Structure 1
Amino acid sequence: MTAVVPPDPIPGARLLFSLDPAVSHLNHGSFGAVPIGVQRVQQRLRDEMEANPLRFLSQGLTERVAHARRHLATFLGADPDGTALVGNTTTGVAVVLASLGLRPGDEVVSTDHGYGAVAMSIARQCRRTGADSRVLPVPLAATDTEVVETVRAGLRPGRTRLLVVDHLTSATARLFPVAAIVEAAHRQGVPVLVDGAHVPGMLPVAVADVGADFWVGNLHKWGYAPRGTAVLVVAERWRERIEPLVVSWEQESGFPARVEWQATLDYTPWLAAPAGLFTLRSLGVDRVRAHNAALAAYGQRVVGEALGVPPTALPDHRGPAVAMRVVPLPTGVAGTFDAARALRLRIAERLATEVAVTAWNGRGWLRLCGQVYNHAEEYQRLAVSLPALLDQR
C-alpha cells in the first residue's frame, strides 16, 4: 500500500486570507476564499464607484471590463473575443440554453454527475420550449474510454441539440476527458457545453484546445477572484446567436458586450479578478496546484481510513492536479439532498469544520478540498472526530 504524505505548507500562505482561524475550512470548492489583497483591490474600486457613480459607470467602464476579460481569457487559453464575463457558471449555462432556440422534439443530454442547479436550468428551459431532457448514467469507476463511449452511445443525431458535460464534476470530483467527449459528439453533429466551474486556477487548461462550442468556468473558486466572476467562452460560429438574459444598452454591440453589460451591476469583482491571478502567480501556479492536490489526497486517505474505507475503495479522480476528493459515507448516511445538507451543518456546528456533503445516486459522499491555507492537522482532527459524530445519528 502506497503511503500518502501531506505536502509541506507554503510559508505565509495562510496569512493571505481573512478566514476565521477557529474553523477548519476544507470546502474551498463551494464558494472559494478571496485573498486579503484582492479584497482591498475590490474595495478601492468600490470606493471609486461611490465617489462618483455616474463617472464610474458611464465613462470607460466597458473598456476596463474588456481589459479584465482579456487578462482572464488569456490565462485560460481562450479567445478574448469569444469570452464574456458573467456572474457564475450557472448564469453562463442559462444564457446558452436560452439562446439555442429549443423546440418540441429537441433534447438536451447531460450526465448524472451534473451540478444540481445546472440540471434544474436544463429542466426549466425544456419545460418552456417543449424540448426533452435526458440524463446519461456514468459509473464513478468508469475509465475515460468508457465515459466517452457511454456519452457517444447516448447521443441521437438530429434530435440531441446540446450535450452538457462537466470538466470536473462537483458532486463526485471526477475529471472527465472533455476533449475526447467533444470530439466524439462533434462527429455526430452534436454541440457541446462544458461546465468547467472548478477548473480556472485549479487545473491547467487551454479552453481553445478543448474544442467545445460553449465552455463556462468560475474564477471565484480556485482563481482567487471576488465572488461573482465567471467566464462564458463561445465558439465563433455561435457568437451572433448568444443573447443575454436581460437586454441592456450594449445589445447592439454584439457578443460579448451584450452579455456583460447589465447597467447597475456591480462590476468590481470582474475588475479586481486579475489581482486574484496575480496572487496565484506570486505563490507559483504549479506549486499551488501540486500542494493542493497532494493535500486533498492526504485528507481523503486519512478520513477514509477513519471511516473504514479501504484505500482501494476511494474514488480515483484521474487527474494529478485535482484538489477535490470524495469519501463514501456509511450506507444510509446522507443519501438524500436534505440529509446531506443536515449532516454538513452538524459537522460545521459540532466539529467547527466546513466540508461539502453530497448525495449522489442514493449514497452520501464527503467532499474535501485542499487549499494553501489548509494544513494536514485539520484533516487529522476531522478523521478523529467524524466517526463518533456519525455514530450519534
Structure 2
Amino acid sequence: MSRDTTELSEQGWETTDLADIRAEWDLDQARDHLNHGSFGAVPRTVRRAQARWRELSDENPMNFYRELRPPGVRVARQAATRFLGAEPDSLALVANATTGVSTVLASFALRPGDEIVLTDHAYGAVTMAARRFATAAGARLMIAQVDLAASDEEVVSAITAVMTDRTRLLVVDHVTSATARLFPVHMIAQAARDRGVATLVDGAHAPGMLPVRVDTIGADFWVGNFHKWAFAARSVAGLWIAPAWQERIRPLVVSWNEEEKFPGAFDNQGTVDDSAWLALPDALDFFASRQPKRLREHNNALAAYGQQTVAAALGTDLTGVGGDPSLSMRLAPLPASVSDRQDGAHALSERIARELNAEVAITRWRDRGFVRLSAQLYNSADQYDRFAAGLAALLR
C-alpha cells in the first residue's frame, strides 16, 4: 500500500528527530513491536531513574524507608494528580488498573440481590473481580451488550437498559482493551448518576493516550495505568475517588499508613518494590518533552494506517469495526476462517511472534477474531507494511 511517508509516518516530525526519539528505547530491533497497548515500553531514561531508586534502597534500607521513600511517593502522587488535571489529594497510587478496580469492589458495600453492571467489552480480569465480589455478597452481574459500532447514544442506551432498581455500581471502560473502543464516559456517568448508580471507570488505556481531566468526567471512581501510554515503569496506576467516597475506600493491603485519610493510607505498602511509583515524575517529564499533542496525532494517524494496511492485505472489511481518531489502538478483523477457531488467539499470537518477528495483540470478541494494533513513537509505517504482508502470507 503506497503512502506519503511525511504525512503518514512522520506526522510533522523531522526524520532525524524520530531517529533520536526511537533511540530512547532498548526494544529488540530484530522484531516489530506493534502492541504497545498491552504492557507499554519503558524509555531508557525512566528505567535509569527507577534503577537509581532501587540502588538507594539497597545502599541504606533504613534511610530509604525512613527518609527518602515517603516524600518520594508524595511527590510522585502529586505529579500523577496534576497530569490528570485532578484536585489535590483526590488520587492514590496503586499497582495497576486491575488493583484499583478490586480496591473499589472490596470496599463497596453490596448486599444480597444487588447488581453490578458491566458491558461485554469489559477487560477479563475486571469481569472476574466483579464476579468474585458480587458472589461473595450474594449480588449478581448484569452484562450490557454494546455493539462494536454503536453510537454514543446507543452505548448509553444499551447500558441503562440493563439497570434496575437493584443496580448499585456500574463498571465501564474509558477505552476498551479487546475492542479498542472509546466509550462516552461523561454521558454514561451522568446517566448512571440520574439513576442513583455509582460509576467506576476503568481507564487503563487513558493516561497519555487521551488528554484526561479526570474530575470533570462525573464518575465516582476512575483508575488508569501510567505504564501503558504515559511511559512509566511497570506497575503504576492512579486511583481517583470522588470526595463523597474517599473515607469509605481503603487499601487492599493493610499497612503502616492505615490510620491516615485518603490518599495517604495508600502510600505505604510495606516493602513492595514501588520504584516504578518513585520514577513516575521522570516518566511524565519524558512524556511532556515529547510534545503531547503532536505525539498523539502521530500515534493516532499511524494506528489508523496500520489498521487500513492490515485489513487491505487480509481482504477483511472494516465496516462496523470502528476506529476512533483520538485513539492509538485499532482493530483489523481476521478472516472468518481464523475467527472460527475457538482456541486460536494465543496460538496465532505465538506463531506471529515466531515466524514474523512481530508482537501484536490477537483479541476475540463475540466469536470474531481481531488483530489489535498499537502505535507509538518508536513505530514506523514500514513495520505495518511488513507485518501486513507477512500475516497475509501466513494465513493463506
TM-score, scaled to structure 1: 0.95
Whether the 8 Å contact between 1:334 and 1:343 is mirrored in structure 2 is no
Match of 1:358 among 349, 355, 363: 363
Please report how far the alpha carbon of residue 154 of structure 1 lies from its aligned counterpart in structure 2 after TM superposition: 1.9
Unaligned runs of 5+ in 1: none
The answer as to 2:32 corresponding to 1:29 is no
Matched residues in 2 for 1:79 and 1:164: separation? 23
Matches within 5 A, 1:150-229: 150-157=158-165, 159-229=166-236
Amino acid at match of 1:390: L
Tell me what 2:93 maps to: 85
Match of 2:23 among 15, 19, 39: 15
Matched residues in 2 for 1:357 and 1:109: separation? 26
The answer as to 2:271 corresponding to 1:269 is no
Matched residues in 2 for 1:134 and 1:92: separation? 21
The answer as to 2:111 corresponding to 1:103 is yes
Tell me what 1:131 maps to: 139
Match of 1:242 among 249, 254, 259: 249
Superposed CA deviations along residues 110-159 of structure 1, whole A, max 9, x for unmatched, are 000100110111111112111101111100011111111111222113x1
Matched residues in 2 for 1:152 and 1:123: separation? 20
Tell me what 1:341 maps to: 346
Tell me what 1:325 maps to: 330
* Shift in alpha-carbon separation, 1:344–1:185, aligned structure 2, 3 A: same
Superposed CA deviations along residues 214-272 of structure 1, whole A, max 9, x for unmatched, are 00000000000000110100000101101111111111002112223210011210110
Matched residues in 2 for 1:25 and 1:103: separation? 45
Whether the 8 Å contact between 1:229 and 1:269 is mirrored in structure 2 is yes
Superposed CA deviations along residues 44-79 of structure 1, whole A, max 9, x for unmatched, are 111111001121112252222111111111111122
Please report how far the alpha carbon of residue 337 of structure 1 lies from its aligned counterpart in structure 2 after TM superposition: 6.8
TM-score, scaled to structure 2: 0.95
Unaligned runs of 5+ in 2: none
Matched residues in 2 for 1:143 and 1:322: separation? 16
Corresponding pairs, count: 387
Whether the 8 Å contact between 2:122 and 2:172 is mirrored in structure 1 is yes
Identity %: 51
SS at match of 2:50: helix
Matched residues in 2 for 1:91 and 1:80: separation? 22
Whether the 8 Å contact between 1:304 and 1:314 is mirrored in structure 2 is no
Tell me what 1:294 maps to: 301
Amino acid at match of 2:127: A
Whether the 8 Å contact between 1:347 and 1:353 is mirrored in structure 2 is yes
Whether the 8 Å contact between 1:334 and 1:358 is mirrored in structure 2 is no
The answer as to 2:317 corresponding to 1:315 is no
* Shift in alpha-carbon separation, 1:217–1:336, aligned structure 2, 3 A: farther
The answer as to 2:53 corresponding to 1:51 is no
Whether the 8 Å contact between 2:304 and 2:323 is mirrored in structure 1 is no
Superposed CA deviations along residues 149-188 of structure 1, whole A, max 9, x for unmatched, are 111222113x111000000000000000000100011000
Amino acid at match of 1:53: P
Amino acid at match of 2:220: D
SS at match of 1:297: helix
* Shift in alpha-carbon separation, 1:83–1:127, aligned structure 2, 3 A: same
**4+ long deviations beyond 3 Å:** 334-338
Matched residues in 2 for 1:275 and 1:92: separation? 22
Whether the 8 Å contact between 2:120 and 2:146 is mirrored in structure 1 is yes
